[in-house]
Amino acid sequence: MGAAFRWLMPHPFLTLILAVVWVLLQNNVTAGMVVFGIILGILIPWITSAWWPDTPKGFRLGKMLSYSVIVIWDIVVANIQVAWIVLTVPNSKLKPAWIVVPLKLKQPEAITVLAGTITLTPGTVSADLSDEGHSLLVHVLHTDDPDGVRDEIKDRYERRLLEIFV
Amino acid sequence: MMLETLAIYAAATSLLIGSGFVLVGVIGLLKFNDPMTRLHAPTKVGTVGIGMLLLASMFSAYADGDASIHEALIMAFLFVTAPVSANFIAKVNIHKRDCDTPPSPPRDDTWSTLRTPEEDQS
Amino acid sequence: MTAAALMNLAVIVAFLALAAGQVLSMVRLVIGPTSGDRILALDTMVINALGLVIVLGIHQGLEVYFEVSLLIAMLGFVSTVALARFILRGDIIE
Amino acid sequence: MSHWIIAPIILPALLAPFIVLAARYHIGIQRVFSVAGVLALIAIAGALAWQVSDGSVIYYRLSDWAAPFGIVVVGDRLSTMMVLLTSLLALFVLLYAIGSGWDDRGRHFHALFQFQLMGILGAFLTGDLFNLFVFFEVLLIASYGLMIHAGGNARLRAGVQYVLFNLIGSTLFLFALGSLYAETGTLNMADLAQRVTEIPAEETVGIRVAAVLLLLVFAIKAALVPLHFWLPSSYAEAPAPVAALFAIMTKVGAYAIIRVYTMIFPPDLEVTSGLHDLWLLPAALVSLAIGMVGVLAAKKMDRLVAYSIVGSMGMVMVAISLFSPEGIAAALYYIVHSTLAGAVLFLISDLVRTGRGNVDLTSQPPMMGTYLTAAMFFAGAIAMAGLPPLSGFLGKLLVLDASFDSTLVVWVWAVVLTSSLISIMGFARAGSVVFWKAHSLPTMEEPVEVASRPSMLAYAATGGLFALLTLHTVFAGQVHGYTTTMAKQLFAPDAYMSVVLETPGKLSKPKTEEEK
Amino acid sequence: MSLFFIVALPFLGALLPGIMNSAGRAACAGVTFTVSLAAFVGLLTNLPAVLAGEVVTARVEWMPELGLNFTLMLDGLGFFFAFLILGIGLLIITYGRHYLSRDDHMGEFFTYLLLFQGAMVGIVLSDNILLLLVFWELTSLSSFLLIGYWKHLPEGRQGARMALTVTGMGGLAMIGGMLILGQIAGSYDLSVILQNREAIQADPLYVPALILILLGCFTKSAQFPFHFWLPHAMAAPTPVSAYLHSATMVKAGIFLMARMWPVLSGTPEWFVIVTTAGLITMVLGSVIALFKHDLKALLAFSTVSHLGLITMLLGTGTTFGAFAAVFHILNHATFKAALFMSAGIVDHEAKTRDIRQLGGLRTLMPVTFTIATLAALSMAGIPFLNGFLSKEMMLEETTHTVLFGVWWLVPALATFGSLMSAAYCFRFIGHTFLGPVRDDYPAKPHDPNAGMWMPPALLVVLVVVIGVAPFLVQDFVILVAKAVIGGTADLEVKYIKIWHGLVPALYMSVAAVVGGLLVVAIFKPLLKIWDAAPRPEAKVIFEAIVETAAAAARGFTHSLHNGAFTRYAMIGFVAIVAAGYHAWATGTVGAATRDLQEAGAVPIAGWAMLVASTVGLVFLHRNRFLALILIGIVGLMVSIGFVFLSAPDLAMTQFTVEVVTIILLLLALNFLPKQTPVESTALRRIRDAGVAIAGGLATFALAYHYLLRDAVSTPISEFHLANSYKGGGGTNVVNVILVDFRGFDTYGEIIVLGIAALLIYALTETLLNGPVRRRLLNRLPDQPRAGDMHPMMMVVLTRVIMPVVLMVGFYIFLRGHNEPGGGFIAGLVVSIAVVMQYMASGFSWAAARIRYPYHGIIGAGVLIAGLTGIGSWFVGKPFLTSDFTYVRIPPFNEFELATAALFDLGVFQAVVGAVMLSLESFSRLAHRPNTPESDHPMDIDPSRDEAPPVVPGLEKEGG
Amino acid sequence: MELLVASAIGVMTAGGVYLVLRLRTFPVILGISLLTYAVNVFLFASGRLTVGAPPILRDDITAYADPLPQALVLTAIVISFGMTAVVVMIGLGAFLGSDDDHVDEQPEPETTEGET
Ligand code: NA
Ligand code: NA
């Protein structure tokens, strides 16, 4: 049963995403659309499964949702902050910095979500990964306390992601 | 009726906010004097700006009487892809030595971009 | 101010902001100086273009521009990555 | 509605993907299908030509939409003759390609060959100008593939120029089509012919420019000076059987000029007067001269042949630009001749290449298979230089005869006759160097490594083209009689137009009925 | 025998010797002789009719519309010439069989000879001047082959080309003349033309026609100033010289003048041109002949001289002149052929033709001596030999001929010519046969076998017989002369007599012979003067002219076609703009019928962007990477413009194509230089800019013109808008046009795309299997490379987003018929999704997991589209006719099923296959088999830290 | 609006022509691309300019932009894409074979022989 399920639906989360995407595309929520979306959601990952060989393990959807809410809030706040910096801080007063975030996360999917979150949130951009994948290089637009930024990243995002990607 | 009017106001407001953000993003792009700092402005501010425009579109559609949600899809696309775009551009800056050299990573040898490929070593 | 008038104003403002954004990005693109800047400028222009299409849709009250926006959102990213990969590796598919 | 008239387009268009799909690793199967397809084409083309030989017009609505709303394919005497000519040429060229092994020196020769045929035949048959553009593109892109088939540096470099020049041509074509649509609101040729008559005399620049741009497009195809520059290098560098097939491609341009400038913009049309009737003839004369001078100038046999193609197209265009039934009849006779003669010379040039490893016009020790090759070259040269008894001479007489009433008759005669002389000098010089002078050199101890005796099939294919040339000569009266009826049909396009415009289609009644 | 057979026999028989070559020399010559003999006998069967004054005709239509038909006629003149051609031909064949050496390819020789014979017979029997032209040129061609028969001799090759060029030129001129003649007379049949003397001579085109025809005659008959080719044709084997250059071909011009005599002669133009040319040729030829040391050259120039004589006679335009001309033709043919054969015998036996190495052969070769001497004396004009008779008639005629108003000019020159003629004849006899026997001949001379001397001997018998008893041929000559002058004029019958009394001609004759002897006596000092005098060498001049022409042609052609595409493009642009401008300038411009639409700030900003990026591209194009970005922006702006102007489908297509194009260009740019160097001069850039601005102004003006005016009648798209839903089942009219109204265009379009991919694939294969492969393998990156080949973020994102993009592609495909989208855009979207995967995880990793060969996808796509089209045949509808229906299957909404969608599926597949095959081919160029292939989709993956090492190969599920 | 579109066509044509006249294949191909844009817009403009009325049928609307030129341009875009790909590939092949991306043939030493 499990194996058959795995074969049919190698990435259940992806199936879900696709079904939602389909409904969004149709711009119209009807039963038929949802059913068709699910069918496509099964069919397409099945076609493309060769390119996503290893399924991420123990993904927690619920925690992911709450994480998303936090991130979206952060994005809104961060954007206002950055906009403020852009408009008010002169170039000479700007204090950009590199910070290095050592990673506890191992799964590529998890690291990618973290990196993405960092880029979308307060004045930070994920710039690079170390050559074994154990640290993340982040560029900060304007900070007096690089270590504080690093700690906040680890505390606010990585900790949560460690719970989502078990 | 009331809701539709509200939606129009919401749409207009979103439009104004969105265009403001767009503008700020571009100003940042133009203003900052370092490639890495320039990267911050448009990738994020711009993204939110477009997000607001999309929101405006949704409000506007609602005001016209046919509710529309598919704008969310575009928003999702933007939010998912923007970090990767930024990441690549940052890598370009690091690779071309167009920015300050980043500090070495603690556990590994170097940053992946800076590692000289084996086949190029001679 | 009536809702319609405000909306009209907002649309005009949005158009102007996006147009200005395009022009300013173009300036960055031409002056560079780094490849990263140019790619970034192009990426920004694509995003702004997407904004233009959205506002146009709002302005004309037409739904048909959705597909266009969707494509721009998806594919702008691809060209940004391709250009960056070219600078990084020379060969974009290796 | 009989479907046969689109068979010449559909058959290669299905055969080619089938070859790609099913036989791309098996050259033998590809050859069988390719030859079988061309044989079928010949049969179909023959039947179609027979069907319209009484002057009737076959008409086909694609997608069932009537002209001018949908695309139509139209077969009349002219188009079916061109289809038949192309199919016949294709057979021998294909056999040569197989016999010489050219088809196996790169990938996808047969698929490209079939697509090339589809493009050419489509261009001859379509009754819609934009569709003509599409078929031009099909035939062009297939020709790019065939031209660079088997690679090699010189060929690729020539290929770049060939493609680029034609891209400019395609762009020009679109400018012309845009102008035509903007001016008339239609794309169908027959409908255009009707609508241009409605254009008022006080507003002619639009249609005039459109007419001229279109003419220039076709002039590029027909390699008319000064738009001929793409031809010499690309034809010379193309693989021989490909160049031989290309002999029909320039005729597509000539065909299009004949079709468009007898039906849509006839010489007596007020709004476009003083354009093509003014400078087409001078340009044609210069082409003829430049081509034949090139024959004398060539340092390699393949260039020599390529220049002779330019010259012979000049001759064709001289006849066309008379815009009289006699001139068109002569042009059509000459088109058949120059297609066959040009093709045969390209194949002979390749026989020389096979026999001695190169086609330089320098004396080298005797090659393999000299006698037969030399005899063929002699005959081919006679044909191309317009010496009796072959059809080149007869064609030349027809052109000279038809030009008698032209105001530029002195120029026509002077250029035609002088350029003949120059080409005779050129061919004699080349033949003498390649085939005779060799005898004054000692035979080589060991033959050149790259040289080998051409295969029997290669000779047979070349001989087959000669047989066609001979038939074209022996039955010159019949052929010319037929091209004369063809020319008359072209100068009375009402029958063509009424068939195209008055046959109803899906959801539409003929225009004339609506007006009534 | 029918005239057709007489003409056709040599042509048909020409195949035989070639085939029979291996059967032996005797068989080869035998069959040739038989063929000739058959034709000869066939001719003789018509003799009674000819003698009875009838004109034998035969006619088959060839090109009736043109007026070129196989119309043959045999009258006295034709018979006379045909008799000469076939009769002498038999002798030449006999002679040639013995003359040719064992190394010579006899079959080839006789094949050419028979071809020539047929052509000659054709000329003299033609009743259609176009047909005559055909045979005329055939003689040029066959003589080209005969002269160049000894391919190893440079003189032969050169002589052949010279003869072909000169006579070819004349032939071409004659084409013009004949066509004019035919146009005036309204027919190309000689019999008709000969009836139209008045009309032709009154026509303003008479003089051009005359000059053109005479050009043909003069070149063929080696008349001054075209006499120079003939001596060089002597490089041919002697039988050829004897046949072509004395008896037959050179007489073709004479024949034609005789044939056209009734319509062309008698005018002042004819008289002046023909007589003058003949006279000069006669004198000049005789002078040159005297000083030639090569026996054959001497004879050749003597032939030139005698042809001049005949020409002059024809030029007088009197019937007596014509009569004398005919008689001299006959006589000249007999003695000259005999002389040539004798010279050939000498050459054959003594192995030299150089008169300076000869002498004293009288005793060694008595038979040859006798033959040659009699023939030479006849040529010198010694009584009782036939040459005397006709030469006297000539001299007689000159006394009545006044040229340029000077009465003594013609007689004096004619006498001088005769004098020189006698001189070279005496020299020929004296310096070859008389004198002491030498001991330094290259070979020991003796008389040849009878096969070689019998033919000339026969001729010499004729020489003597006619000379002694001219009345034997008198009737025949009269008959022929009558044929020449035609029915219109009366021949004042003159009997040929040996003794006319003490007429001026006799004095002139005597003076000529005596003078001739004197000249030979003082030959050595004369030769010194001759050698010292500067004189043009025809061969050198001709070769100089040809080489100059060829060099000029080369210079012209190669400087015009110098291989510079930029030049070709420049000329093209200028031509296009100029032609367009001309069309515009000569037309009329009416008032605008449409109003300008207001442009807001946004369009203006968009326009500014477009212009800025275009201008930027032009100025910054040397930085290729930047240029790529800029062209991308141009494309982007154009797309936005399409959106603005109500063309969402176009915008989507333009935008997706743009992305794929940029990927493609980046793949190529990887190999190319990244900078374009400055190479063109400022002047050139200014020039190019000028052309560019002209082109820009032209398209601007054109577009602006159309935009402000309506089409002349309702555009056909009204119909498309009205019937798109009703007849095509779709609300997206653009899509319905693409898949239905104009589906055939789309069918062609996907084929173009498919071909493009096949081409790119084929070329890649060719490159990878050729010399380029090594270069590619040894290629080093020209810029430093970053370390991360397959960055993690990209890979992870691709995993999620590629399926989504595929779904979007599917969505766009489905919606296309009613909303913006369709198979093409969907195909591009799907391709881009796959390309994303390629970019993320690399070519090898991604390609190994592709399940379908792209070739197959293209092929299937094009086939599906085609078969969908054919499908409509089965319901009796034309190709590509669409049908649609609406179905409802719960829980889904009602949806449309359309055949057009199936067609669109073919489009979709073809696009995906084509784009992917192209991109894949580009990638393969960069792919290096010797670099380690990654088994992982991404380079860096910390989750692999603890995992056991992956066994290569196991991972390739679905590959 | 008409002025903007027409002048844009003119500017792109001029830029295209200028680049086509350059000496290396890469700018020439870019020039062809510009020309392609220009002609596509020109062809599109042959249906005249209409704002806000895409030819997608709606119940309550009767005026639409001319759909035919749009379909033609779409075909033209696709075809020119194929052509661009092809010319890029052939140009690349030529460059790889000779290490030279000049579009003009480079002069080679003269070799001729007269026939005598
Ligand atoms: Na393009
Ligand atoms: Na094109």
Confidence of residue E491 (pLDDT cuts 50, 70, 90): low
Verify that A83 and A36 share a domain, yes or no.
no
Tally of structural domains, chain F: 1
**For residue D445, pLDDT beyond 70:** no
Task: List, as one string, the DSSP characters of D165-211.
Answer: HHHHHHHHHHHHHHHHHHHHS--BHHHHHHHHTTS-TT--HHHHHHH
Residue E950: exposure state from Cβ atoms within 10 A (0-12, 13-18, ≥19): exposed
What is the pTM for the complete model shown? 0.93
**For residue D392, pLDDT beyond 50:** yes
Verify that A81 and A131 share a domain, yes or no.
yes
F70 located within any domain:
yes
CA distance linking residue D387 with residue D424, whole number of Å? 8
**Residue E860 C-alpha, separation from nearest chain C C-alpha, in angstroms:** 26
Task: State whether residue E59 is helix, strand or coil.
Answer: strand
- F9-38 per-position pLDDT tens digit: 999 999 999 999 999 999 999 999 999 999
Verify that A67 and A43 share a domain, yes or no.
no
Question: Going by C-beta distance under 8 Å and a sequence separation of 6 or more, which residues neighbour residue D244?
Answer: D89, D93, D96, D342, D343, D344, D346, D347
Question: Going by C-beta distance under 8 Å and a sequence separation of 6 or more, which residues neighbour residue C57?
Answer: B57, C63, C64, C65, C66, C69
- Residues D128/D71, Cβ–Cβ less than 8 Å: yes
Which range has highest mean pLDDT (A18-22, D357-361, E695-699, F110-114)?
A: E695-699
Strands (E), E415-541: none
**Which pLDDT score is estimated for E956?**
39
CB contact (8 A) between residue E798 and residue A47: no
Q: Pick from D9, D76, D2, D501: which is nearest to E878 by CA?
A: D2
CA distance linking residue E835 with residue E829, whole number of Å? 10
- Report which of residues D24 and A135 the model is more confident about: A135
Q: Pick from E72, E76, E55: which is nearest to E7 by CA?
A: E72
**Residue A93 C-alpha, separation from nearest chain E C-alpha, in angstroms:** 32
CATH number of the domain where residue A69 is located: 3.30.70
Q: How many CB pairs under 8 A join A and B?
A: 142
Confidence of residue B120 (pLDDT cuts 50, 70, 90): low
CB contact (8 A) between residue E785 and residue B120: yes
A37 located within any domain:
yes
- Residue ranges of domains in chain B: 2-100
Verify that A97 and A155 share a domain, yes or no.
yes
- Residues D229/D287, Cβ–Cβ less than 8 Å: no
CB contact (8 A) between residue E704 and residue F12: no
Tally of structural domains, chain E: 2
F46 located within any domain:
yes
**Which pLDDT score is estimated for D239?**
95
As a whole number, mean pLDDT of residues F63-74 equals 96
| φ, ψ (nearest 5 deg) of residue D505 | -135, -165
Q: How far is CA D133 from CA D207, F75, F76, F87, in A?
A: 19, 10, 9, 19
**Which pLDDT score is estimated for E362?**
86
- State the distance from the centre of ligand 1 to the C-alpha of F84, rounded, in angstroms: 7
CA distance linking residue E779 with residue E771, whole number of Å? 13
Cβ-based contacts of A111 with chain E (< 8 Å): 792-793, 796, 942
**Which pLDDT score is estimated for D446?**
53
Radius of gyration of chain C (CA): 16
- Residues D199/E712, Cβ–Cβ less than 8 Å: yes
Cβ-based contacts of F12 with chain D (< 8 Å): none
- Report which of residues D212 and D512 the model is more confident about: D212
As a whole number, mean pLDDT of residues E787-796 equals 90
Q: What is the ipTM of this complex?
A: 0.95
Cβ-based contacts of B95 with chain E (< 8 Å): 784, 786
| CA E618 remoteness from chain centre | 44
Residue F17: exposure state from Cβ atoms within 10 A (0-12, 13-18, ≥19): buried
**Residue E572 C-alpha, separation from nearest chain A C-alpha, in angstroms:** 49
CA distance linking residue D353 with residue D373, whole number of Å? 11
β-bridge mates for residue F53, sequence order:
none
CB contact (8 A) between residue A25 and residue E808: yes
**Which pLDDT score is estimated for F108?**
66
- State the distance from the centre of ligand 2 to the C-alpha of C18, rounded, in angstroms: 33
**Omega prior to E673 cis, within 30 of 0:** no
Residue given tokens 């064709």 in the structure block: D316
Verify that A42 and A88 share a domain, yes or no.
no
Inter-axis angle of helices D249-263 and D301-320, to 10 degrees? 10
CB contact (8 A) between residue A83 and residue B45: yes
- Numbered residues of chain B with Cβ closer than 8 Å to any chain E Cβ: 77, 80-81, 83-84, 87-88, 91, 94-95, 110, 112-117, 119-120
Verify that A65 and A133 share a domain, yes or no.
yes
- State the distance from the centre of ligand 2 to the C-alpha of D447, rounded, in angstroms: 47
E876 located within any domain:
yes
CB nearest to B8's CB, from C7, C24, C40: C7
E101 located within any domain:
no
Confidence of residue D357 (pLDDT cuts 50, 70, 90): confident
- Residues A45/A10, Cβ–Cβ less than 8 Å: yes
User: Looking at chain D, how many residues does it have?
Assistant: 516
Radius of gyration of chain E (CA): 43
E225 located within any domain:
no
- CB contact burial E400-412 (16+ within 10 A = b; e otherwise): ebebeeeeebbbe
- State the distance from the centre of ligand 1 to the C-alpha of F42, rounded, in angstroms: 15
Q: Pick from D173, D164, D162: which is nearest to D136 by CA?
A: D173
Helix (H), strand (E) at residue D74: strand D72-75
The mean-pLDDT minimum among A1-10, D44-53, E730-739, E868-877 falls in: A1-10
Paired tokens of C94: 């290796």
Question: Taking chain B, what is the end-to-end CA distance rounded to the nearest angstrom?
Answer: 74
Q: What's the domain range around A74?
A: 61-164
Average pLDDT, chain E: 88
- State the distance from the centre of ligand 1 to the C-alpha of E635, rounded, in angstroms: 8
Confidence of residue E351 (pLDDT cuts 50, 70, 90): confident
- State the distance from the centre of ligand 2 to the C-alpha of A108, rounded, in angstroms: 45
Q: Give CA angle at D474 (D470, D479), nearest 5°.
A: 100
- State the distance from the centre of ligand 2 to the C-alpha of E419, rounded, in angstroms: 78
- D277-289 per-position pLDDT tens digit: 888 999 999 999 9
As a whole number, mean pLDDT of residues E391-404 equals 78
- CB contact burial E830-864 (16+ within 10 A = b; e otherwise): bbbbbbbbbbbbbbbbbbbbbeeebbbbbbbbbbb
Within chain E, how many helices (H) and strands (E) appear? 41, 4
Q: How many CB atoms lie within 10 A of CB D282?
A: 15
Q: How far is CA D349 from CA D149, D308, D425, in A?
A: 17, 13, 18
A12 located within any domain:
yes
CB nearest to B33's CB, from A91, A132, A133: A91
- Report which of residues E302 and A54 the model is more confident about: E302
Q: What's the domain range around E289?
A: 276-521
Verify that A121 and A147 share a domain, yes or no.
yes
- State the distance from the centre of ligand 2 to the C-alpha of D129, rounded, in angstroms: 15
Q: Which residue of E has its CA nearest to F92?
A: E668
Verify that A147 and A65 share a domain, yes or no.
yes
Task: State whether residue D146 is helix, strand or coil.
Answer: helix
Q: What's the domain range around F13?
A: 2-51+65-98
Q: How many CB pairs under 8 A join C and F?
A: 5
Tally of structural domains, chain A: 2
**For residue C56, pLDDT beyond 80:** yes
Confidence of residue E640 (pLDDT cuts 50, 70, 90): very high
Cβ-based contacts of F56 with chain C (< 8 Å): 64
F109 located within any domain:
no
- Report which of residues E318 and D64 the model is more confident about: D64
Paired tokens of E825: 């855009």
- Residues D209/D180, Cβ–Cβ less than 8 Å: no
Cβ-based contacts of E128 with chain D (< 8 Å): none
Verify that A67 and A105 share a domain, yes or no.
yes
Cβ-based contacts of C55 with chain F (< 8 Å): none
**Residue B116 C-alpha, separation from nearest chain E C-alpha, in angstroms:** 5
User: Which ligand minimizes its atom distance to the CA of F80?
Assistant: 2
- Domain endpoint, select from E470, E496, E521: E521
- State the distance from the centre of ligand 2 to the C-alpha of E262, rounded, in angstroms: 64
Confidence of residue E231 (pLDDT cuts 50, 70, 90): confident
Which range has highest mean pLDDT (B65-69, D459-463, F102-106)?
A: D459-463
- Residues D503/D59, Cβ–Cβ less than 8 Å: yes
F78 located within any domain:
yes
A56 located within any domain:
no
Q: Which residues in chain F (56-115) have CB-CB distances under 8 A to chain D?
A: 68-69, 72, 75-76, 79-80, 82-83, 86-87, 90-91, 93-94, 97-98, 103, 105, 111-113, 115
**Which pLDDT score is estimated for E847?**
83
Verify that A93 and A157 share a domain, yes or no.
yes
User: Which ligand minimizes its atom distance to the CA of D166?
Assistant: 2
Q: Give CA angle at B45 (B41, B48), nearest 5°.
A: 160
- Report which of residues E38 and E384 the model is more confident about: E38
Amino acid at residue number E169 = M
CA distance linking residue E398 with residue E503, whole number of Å? 12
- E240-294 per-position pLDDT tens digit: 887 887 778 888 999 999 999 889 988 989 988 998 999 899 999 999 899 888 8
| CA E742 remoteness from chain centre | 42
